[in-house]
A and B are shown apart, each in its own frame.
Chain A
Amino acid sequence: MTSATVSRQASSGLYIGGLIWTLVRTDFKTRYHGTIQGFVWALMKPLTMFLVLMGVFSFIFASDPAYRVNLIVGLFLWEFFAQGTSVGLLSLRAKGFLISKAKFPSWIVVVTSLANALITLAVFWVVILATLTLSGHVPSPLASALFLWYLLHLTAIVIGFSLAGSVLFLKYNDLNQVWDVVLQAGFFVAPIIYPLSILPERFHKYLYLWPPTPIIQFARQVLIAGTTPSLKAHGLLTFEAAIVLAVGVWVFRRYAPRAAEYL
């Protein structure tokens, strides 16, 4: 027994890895009933949404030949943001049965809850790539690298919102409803179903404050328009993502030690 104790202390890194893997696996199992069909079924919602929006809005924006590709890139990036932050917000309360019984680093619960949204995004990336290729926009290596760079920023933003939301939801038990409203409004604030250019130029800088907007716009530029945002624009994006992540970490560190007491 004593030797086991010693080896366990020595392998705390291993234990964190095992914990992350177990949490991701159990999340996948409980959400999709452990089957691939369950996972495919969960992909139907954003796919249906895409088909409906495309059916309706490509008539309205019929003059824009790139409208469909722009829509699919924007919609799937948005889907990751919306799904990730919603699940992240619920994550600590959903795992309340664990955090009230044992002490372990609870940020792991929040970060691993995003795994399913990431898997969904990876699958959608295949769809996006197919659409791009079919429409003659095969991304160059530079465009792909920049797109990955934006995804990294988006993930940091989602983690920031999730960390803050997860602990605040323990204190305010209707925060999920508030967040649903924010997401609903945010869907239209972000230029997903419309091109940003239809709005007057003077509003653009405010729309860029909503974190999904610059991600979606930059991704469209490199993947579809074939242009690269300026260095300054990239700096501002990194700055915005860093602020969101830092605020999220700060809020989480402030409330997480007492998380079990709010349950």
Chain B
Amino acid sequence: MIAALGLLVGIVVGLLLQPDVPLGLEPYLPIAVVAALDAVFGALRAFLDGIFDDKVFVVSFVSNVLIAALIVYLGDKLGVGGQLATGVIVVLGIRIFSNVAAIRRHLLHA
């Protein structure tokens, strides 16, 4: 409940402020969002599993975002930014799907 509230607050603040993303960080924002999405779904699943932990959530969130951005940055420097971004998204997407499947099983028992 409190997590849903936080999500709402964050979205509203983002929509209200509409901050300008620096041009250099712009390519990494979508990847960071996908990585954050993975962390959030993992946390939701852990919450439903009864093993949620605030510290782990924070650390996994931050590290996910930073590592995803770092990988894409490195790929950009090496000239394979697009491919690395695709790889990151594939891996995170698979994790998100499996987490969501677990969550679905928890909620709907199906």
Q: Do A and B bind each other?
A: no
